[in-house]
Amino acid sequence: MNCMMSVRGRVRRGIPARMALSLVVLSVSACGGGPAESAGPAPAVYTSSCSPCHDDGLGGAPMLGDQAEWERRIAKGINTVRRNAIDGFEGGTGIMPRMGGRPDLSADEISSIVDWMIAASQ
Ligand code: HEC
């Protein structure tokens, strides 16, 4: 709200319409800040290997962006959640395949994708 009001104030002081519009765009992006912004762009491996299940919650996978669901899982401790993704996991909602079906990756790589998924779901 405050952001829009300050823009309106500036418009009244006589800034040309086209500039005012770009001010609105600027202030909206500065005041917004969705999950994708704080977490950065999706890692390529997430998009190719994890998103088929985790974007839409396929087969009981915790959905990217589902804050409550991820909070419930993080309550076990972040290391357990990472370990479950690495070793594979059946937690009652479905089957998480070992390393998300990418045994060619290192445990560190899987962990950093898990961290990104969590950051994108807060
Ligand atoms: C074939 C579908 C599928 C793919 C592909 C997949 N997952 Fe999952 N994932 C699941 C399901 C289903 C669960 C939920 C299991 C449960 O809690 O019963 C899950 C759970 C998880 C969890 C939560 C573990 C916990 O302790 O609660 C993490 C983290 C995770 N996946 C990471 C990944 C990563 C990283 C990838 C890609 C490298 C990936 N998944 C690929 C289906 C998938």
Q: Quickly state the pLDDT bin for 57 (edges 50, 70, 90).
A: very high
pTM attached to this predicted model: 0.78
Alpha carbon of 68 to ligand 1 centroid (Å)? 16
Residue scoring higher pLDDT (105 or 37): 105
Which range, of 3-12, 42-51, 106-115, averages the lowest pLDDT?
A: 3-12
Query: Residues 68, 98: one domain?
Result: yes
pLDDT mean across residues, the chain:
82
Residue 31 has pLDDT above 60, yes or no: no
> Which atom of ligand 1 sits closest to the CA of residue 118?
29
Counting ligand 1 atoms within 8 A of each CB, the residue from 47, 96, 122 with the most, and so the one to mutate, is 96
For atom 27 of ligand 1, the residue with the nearest CA is: 73
Sequence-ordered alpha helix ranges (H) in the chain: 2-12, 17-31, 35-39, 44-45, 51-54, 67-74, 78-87, 107-119
Query: Residues 43, 96: one domain?
Result: yes
From residue 92, give the alpha-carbon distance in Å to each of 3, 30, 32, 73, 108: 44, 40, 36, 12, 25
Domain holding 16, by residue range, is 2-32
Query: Residues 56, 17: one domain?
Result: no
The reported pLDDT for the residue numbered 29 is 44
Q: Quickly state the pLDDT bin for 30 (edges 50, 70, 90).
A: very low
The reported pLDDT for the residue numbered 39 is 85
For atom 22 of ligand 1, the residue with the nearest CA is: 85
| Model confidence pLDDT, tens digit, residues 66-121 | 999 999 999 999 999 999 999 999 999 999 999 999 999 999 999 999 999 999 99
Query: Residues 92, 114: one domain?
Result: yes
Query: Residues 91, 63: one domain?
Result: yes
The reported pLDDT for the residue numbered 52 is 97
Domain count, the chain: 2
